[in-house]
Amino acid sequence: MNRIAVLRWQFDLTWSLFAYHLERLEPGDFLAEPAPLSWNVRPAEDGSWVPDWADVEPDPVPVPTIGWLSWHIGWWWSTALDHVHGRTPRDRTEVTWPGDGDAAIGWLRGLHGQWTTLLDGLGDADLDVPASYPVPDDPTYTVAHLLAWVNAELMKNVAEIGQLRMVRAAS
């Protein structure tokens, strides 16, 4: 099995776990704050939805909501797509949350479609091309590393969303 096939298998497995939770999310799940110290997405004066953010991670770290996590996935995944396609990556502040759970799920499914199209177009040799996201200034970092990082980051965020959803459903 070639490297791209292994990375694609891992991505598809992670997405299947995410699909399980996406199908079960309720509208109230997205903005429910699971702890007194939570990061969420909030409406801005212009009507867009923006995430809570700190340039230096606070201690203790706030518990993210499902809405915040869905924004976070959309942000890093959009940025990863920008890098692989050679586009100027969007700044974090340019990526806003769509405004409700259904729209967020649609956004994430759209990113999934873009990513699978990208994966389908890659050959094994493409994996050795240098990459700079999310690890800049490392000459040994390649597209293979970026794809593996996307799989790991998605798996982590899927587990967080799944746990928050299950705790809320069981409450």
Instruction: Return the CATH number at 156.
Output: 1.20.120.450
> Is 144 among the domain residues?
yes
Alpha-carbon distance 24 to 95, whole Å? 25
With respect to residue 50, please indicate whether it lies within any of the assigned structural domains: no
Unique residue bearing structure tokens 């497995």: 13
Residue 48 forms part of a structural domain: no
Residue 43 belongs to some domain of the structure: no
Range of the domain at 143: 3-37+60-170
Please report whether residue 132 resides in a domain.
Answer: yes
The answer as to whether 53 is a domain residue is no
> Residue 63 belongs to what H/E stretch?
strand 63-64
Q: Looking at the 3D structure of the chain, how many domains does it have?
A: 1
Segment 61-76 shows an average pLDDT of 98
Q: Can you give the pLDDT at residue 45?
A: 96
82 φ, ψ (degrees, to nearest 5): -55, -45
71 found inside a domain: yes
- Write out pLDDT tens, residues 138-153: 999 999 999 999 999 9
pLDDT score for 164:
98
pTM: 0.96
In a domain, 130, yes or no: yes
Structure confidence at residue 10 (pLDDT) = 97
The whole-chain average pLDDT of the chain stands at: 96
> Percent of the chain having pLDDT more than 70?
99
For residue range 13-34, list pLDDT tens digits in order.
999 999 999 999 999 999 999 9
User: Among residues of the chain, what percentage have pLDDT more than 90?
Assistant: 96
d(CA 17, CA 23): 10
Query: What is residue 4's predicted lDDT score, i.e. its pLDDT?
Result: 93
Predicted confidence band at 1 (pLDDT cuts at 50, 70, 90)? low
Indicate the SS3 state at residue 122.
coil
